[in-house]
Chain A
Amino acid sequence: MHSREELLACVVARLIGEAKHVAVGAASPIPATGALLLQQKNPSLKVSFLHRRKGNPFTEGSRELFDLAGQGRIDVFFLGGAQIDGEGSINLVRAEGKRFPGSFGSAFMYSVVKKTVLFREEHSKRVLVPKVEFVSARGTPGALLTGKALFSWQGSRFRLESTHEAGDIRGETGFDYDAPAKTPLTPVPTAEDLALLRSSVAQRIAPDYPDFARRVWGIN
């Protein structure tokens, strides 16, 4: 059996695809796991974690990450949102009277990185809304991955591509989207992927995401 986190990491690896350089920002253990999984199979993939505690890839902090991205040297980046809407806009500032941490670098990254993958584990009408209350960032998403489903972007609307298990996605999504007549299930991790995730990938994730590694793989 696999965990939900492992399945999501495998989807992340597929979404990164042919990229040369993927960067991972704040508090993103699943995108980080997916990027490292893909790197195990494609060692020429460059993976830069902004928050690496030791051996950080940047010698000028996040300023260097943003300068790299501004030049077009980052192929894939991940953004989340307290709210994500059907137009692909994200909100990291405030919703329903609640304050969230803030926009981080999203307003910049969304428009300069070649492929931005929107990622949020929670899949609910609270998160996936018709219109965000505050636009932290607007852009063209490469895909939207949640804890329940994967959507592609069709120019002006999302399209449901697969669900991770059978369920009422329409009933749990606040925005309208296109869908095939019959939605396939998301492919589950292969035995090879699981073996890599639980050995070399887990060991490399643990120093930067100790709580996550403890929860998913029992590493202390």
Chain B
Amino acid sequence: MAARAEQLAALVPDGAFLALPPDYSMPSMAVVRELILQKRKNLRLLGVPVLGMCADLLIGAGCVAEVESSAVSLGEAGLAPRFTEAVEKGEIKMRDATCPAVHTALQASEKGVPFMPLRGVLGSDLVKQRTDWQVLQNPFSGGDDPILYIRAISPDIALFHARWADEAGNVWVGRRRELATVAHAAKRTLVTYEELKPGDMLEDELLAPGVISAAYITAVAPAKRGAWPLGIAGVYDIDDAHLAQYAKAARTREGFQRYLEEFVCTAAKSYSPASSPA
């Protein structure tokens, strides 16, 4: 049950296959910073379906061996500089995907089936690269109808941030219900949250549709502003100025190290306070 962000990070072993959301869908930056402080190694990141600053930080800090994602970028702030350099220099392995294929692979896992078909994608060089995708005949068609089959993906761990957790162990992600799919598909799910709500949110008809049931949640931890410098819609906005500052600093390895020293090595504790109510 209630732990601290650093205790959640301790549940992510070296080499874990770790699913993370895009920057607009509530990454747990509090735990990402703890993973860097704890010097986690050889992580395999899964972008659901793309990645941003959280992945760039982990890659720059040397925590990552492999990335599977449909893209890695900082959005309006530009390229993800540590990702870009690491791939160009061959320091990490990149498995390119396309967004709906990631969703489809996770939906197969949440249904407990080994694969699921997806339209489109044929003709892309991605199909040649991905040994876990196959082009097969639609078994229900009389004529020639090739279709892509995507093998199910089950991440070791899904990690994200939520607006609320409650006393029953449920978490509320609101309209970001794609996070439920990755929680359903992952073997373990770790969640930081802004605030604790008394009672059980599934008893509330208005809150229930945005809830992920405790049945899927392995552990939660309070982390005030735990998505910062990213945002939670309606609570706090993405810190665009900070993202631009990061994008500029991380262009060089030295700039990135200075960023880590200023915002990760010293500040992580203040964004995941042990004194928060839990």
Contact = CB atoms under 8 A, between A and B. Distances in A.
Given A59-B175, A137-B124, 15 more contacts: A53-B24, A56-B233, A60-B177, A61-B178, A62-B100, A63-B49, A67-B100, A104-B71, A105-B49, A106-B98, A108-B120, A111-B123, A135-B125, A136-B125, A137-B98
B103 interface: yes
Contact of B100 (A53, A54, A108, A135): A108
Contact of B76 (A59, A99, A211): A211
A53 B123 contact: no
Contacts of A26: 50, 71, 73, 75
A108 B175 CA distance: 24
A107 interface: yes
Given A97-B88, A103-B70, A111-B120, A66 B178 contact: no
B52 to A, nearest CB: 10
A171 to B, nearest CB: 29
Interface residues of A, number: 44
Interface of B: 24-25, 49-50, 69-73, 75-76, 79-80, 83-84, 87-88, 94, 96-101, 103, 107, 118-126, 175-179, 181, 231, 233-234, 237-238, 240, 244
8 contacts: A62-B49, A64-B178, A66-B100, A105-B70, A112-B119, A112-B120, A136-B124, A136-B125
A60 B76 CA distance: 22
B183 to A, nearest CB: 13
B80 A107 contact: no
A155 interface: no
If over half of B's interface residues share one DSSP class (helix, strand or loop), that class is named, otherwise mixed; here it is mixed
B233 A54 contact: yes
Contacts of A97: 88
Given A54-B234, A136-B126, A103 B177 contact: no
B210 to A, nearest CB: 9
A61 B120 contact: no
Interface in A105-160: 105-112, 134-139
Nearest to A54: B233
